[in-house]
Amino acid sequence: MHRFLGFILFQPLLQGTPSWSFSPPKNLSTRKATVSIQAVNDVSNESVETTDAVVCGGGPAGLLTAIMLAEKLPPSRKIRLYDRLSAPPDADDDRIWDNDVARFYLIGLGGRGQSALQEFGAWEGVVKDRCVSVVGRRDWQPGDREGTERIFTKAEKRVPTEVLARDKLVGVLHQHILDKYKGRIELNYGFEVHPVDFNHENGKSVLVEIAQCTSELVPLNRLEVKTSLENQEEILCSTEDTKLLKVNGLLVAADGTVRTVANAMEREDRKRFDSLHPIQKVFSPKPFRVKRYEDDNQRVYKSFPINVPKDWRFDLNYSARAKRATFDALPANRKGNYCGLLLLKKDDPLAVENNDPKELRAMMDNSFPYFSKLIDDETMATVAKKPVSYLPSFRYAGPRLFQGNNCVILGDCVHTVKPYFGLGANSALEDVRILGQAIDKHKDENGEFDTAKVVREFSKRRAKDSKALVRVSRDLDRPGKLGVFTFLIPIILDSIFNKFLPAIFTPNIINMLQREGWTFSGVARRKRLERIVQIAMLTSGFYLAGKVATRAILWTATKLFAVCQRSAAARYAIPAAALSFVGTFLASRSNKTRESSKDLPAVADVITKFSKKSEEKQVTK
Ligand SMILES: Cc1cc2nc3c(=O)[nH]c(=O)nc-3n(C[C@H](O)[C@H](O)[C@H](O)COP(=O)(O)OP(=O)(O)OC[C@H]3O[C@@H](n4cnc5c(N)ncnc54)[C@H](O)[C@@H]3O)c2cc1C
């Protein structure tokens, strides 16, 4: 059973401090609408700057989108990317990455992410060179001192997971753009994008406001700025200069959990929907919304820098589970420097800033002695002092992923999952690949395409998948007893059925979600079907086993009864009667067996007969 519980960390769990996030100032308010409707109407087309394509957000998905657009759009078309933070750190400066490996959270790129990067020429020779391959795992179960090592086979993982810091991935893509797409892609840091009019000029373009963030929020050395992810949503940076920008082509929002664009879409749709007559509402398409699940299984984490001993491999995911917490470590580089992550329940006394280093040490000694001895007192004190970091909560957007004819959303802003199964960045990068395919489908011979068709095509292909990804991932993270039914039992069933009937039953759902040949909704559908077949097989199996057992009991009871009759030994009366009772009871549940039980005496008959025989015996004596 413990092995199966270990699946929660089966896929690389790769975290660290979200160093790229910023601290919201006290006086910060959430800006909902920055430009009045009147101002939008007053915009004379001549006075507004125009551009061909805008990408909102310079995370992994945003940067790859800019590269994809540069590859797909005619060479004359310019792409502008905006991110509210400052430019990412230099991916090749080892001083940044090796000094404190616990500063950056690590992500694992699997088949989905690697294929997407490969498709746009950003994998081999670009991102791959900065990754560390993880070829297997070593897991410690509670009380286990040695741990169990397992190297993945090709059948388990088509490609090894490649690990690097999220910020390093961003740094590499940023540098790749500067090297290869100078003049095509314009990168703007310290600017926030706000949608103003999704249907500008009768749906021919989209109008956005570009706001320059104040230096207070985007310090030059953003590595110093840390805060919890929990504070990210709905918080916008305080801005000074703003300008309007008209986007004639695509506005691609890849703004992560901040969701500036998705929130604006939601507000616009809700307003439109609320203004409808109740009867109109019935026939109107469902409004766009962001489904925000309450986190009922919240975990927080603290990250540790660890140097693994020389006799440990440097290409494994080290993971341990204890009653109170889990610990998961991934290689930050190829020199044996790992970033270890201590995951605690939110209400754990240690899940606070400035906790007692002695208590932290005691817990580590108790639960993870093999990791504790790798951490010196100074590091322990630093970690104890750190604030905790939060994992993102489950969210998905839908039922469509576009607004108007020009705006499309992708990445974490559409589907946010906890990083247990390593799917966030991978699915975000896969979104970009699918948007590229949608463009290809509607592109003419001059490379021009109808944005209205492209955004709809993308939405058709990805909206259901995003929902499925979030719902399936959430099912795997339910608390307590619920988790037994939504996670543990399905994983056990899948493992057993896949082992004995691999041609019919696919591997467990965590494994299936990693396979890039499968859509997330396809995996969910397949698993639903398999579950029905599994339950049907188990039910008929139990039914047949029950029948065989009934027959066996009846047969034994008949034999025993015959023996009793012959020997007339009163001491057999009770067991024979009991067996006969069980047999008769089971037999009475099936018509057929009821037929065969006709010759059998009832329990009362057995006892009476034995009593009579005993009496007769006594009389004869
Ligand atoms: C601890 C942790 C561990 C993880 N481990 C893994 C893993 O192992 N594997 C995996 O696949 N995924 C993992 N993830 C998830 C992964 O980091 C995200 O899924 C991924 O970064 C999403 O990329 P994105 O580009 O969609 O969004 P983000 O990376 O969030 O980028 C969004 C960007 O948009 C910018 N932005 C926001 N609003 C605006 C605006 N209005 N204007 C301009 N810019 C804006 C933000 O500044 C940000 O830079 C992990 C996440 C965490 C927190």
Collapse the DSSP code of 616 into the 3-class scheme (helix H, G, I; strand E, B; otherwise coil) and give the result.
helix
Instruction: Say whether pLDDT at 6 is over 90.
Output: no
Please give the structure tokens belonging to residue 521.
Answer: 């909704």
Going by CA atoms, what residue is nearest to atom 9 of ligand 1? 422
Peptide bond into 399 cis (omega under 30): yes
Q: Position of tokens 């292909």?
A: 461
Categorize the per-residue pLDDT at 155 as very low, low, confident or very high, splitting at 50, 70 and 90.
confident
From 227, 612, 278, 259, select the one nearest 413 (Cα to Cα). 259
* Each residue's pLDDT tens digit, 87-131: 999 999 999 999 889 999 999 999 999 999 999 999 999 999 999
Cα(59) to centroid of ligand 1, in Å?
Answer: 6
Going by CA atoms, what residue is nearest to atom 21 of ligand 1? 425
From 613, 607, 612, select the one nearest 581 (Cα to Cα). 607
* Each residue's pLDDT tens digit, 311-353: 999 999 999 999 999 999 999 999 999 999 999 999 999 999 9
- Those residues with Cβ within 8 angstroms of residue 375's Cβ, 6 or more apart along the chain or in another chain: 304, 306, 364, 383
Categorize the per-residue pLDDT at 565 as very low, low, confident or very high, splitting at 50, 70 and 90.
confident
* Average model confidence (pLDDT) across the chain: 85
Confidence (pLDDT) at 249: 97
Going by CA atoms, what residue is nearest to atom 29 of ligand 1? 59
- Closest ligand 1 atom, residue 255 Cα: 34
Instruction: Say whether pLDDT at 234 is over 50.
Output: no
- Those residues with Cβ within 8 angstroms of residue 467's Cβ, 6 or more apart along the chain or in another chain: 291, 396, 398, 415, 521
Cα(478) to centroid of ligand 1, in Å?
Answer: 23
Q: Could you tell me if the CB of 412 is within 6 A of ligand 1? A: yes
- Across 286-292, average pLDDT: 96
* Each residue's pLDDT tens digit, 583-605: 566 555 554 444 444 444 343 34
How many residues are given for the chain? 621
Instruction: Say whether pLDDT at 308 is over 90.
Output: yes
Cα(571) to centroid of ligand 1, in Å?
Answer: 76
Confidence (pLDDT) at 615: 45
- Closest ligand 1 atom, residue 412 Cα: 26
* Each residue's pLDDT tens digit, 410-422: 999 999 999 999 9
Instruction: Say whether pLDDT at 609 is over 50.
Output: no
Instruction: Say whether pLDDT at 459 is over 80.
Output: yes
Of 9, 11, 14, the one to substitute when testing ligand 1's pocket (max ligand atoms within 8 A of C-beta) is 14
Q: Could you tell me if the CB of 290 is within 6 A of ligand 1? A: no
Instruction: Say whether pLDDT at 85 is over 60.
Output: yes
Structural domains of the chain ordered from first start: 50-132+163-292+393-475 (3.50.50.60), 541-620 (no CATH)
Of 63, 84, 226, 231, the one to substitute when testing ligand 1's pocket (max ligand atoms within 8 A of C-beta) is 84
On whether the CB atoms of residues 368 and 350 are closer than 8 A, the answer is no
* Whole-angstrom distance, CA of residue 89 vs CA of residue 95: 11
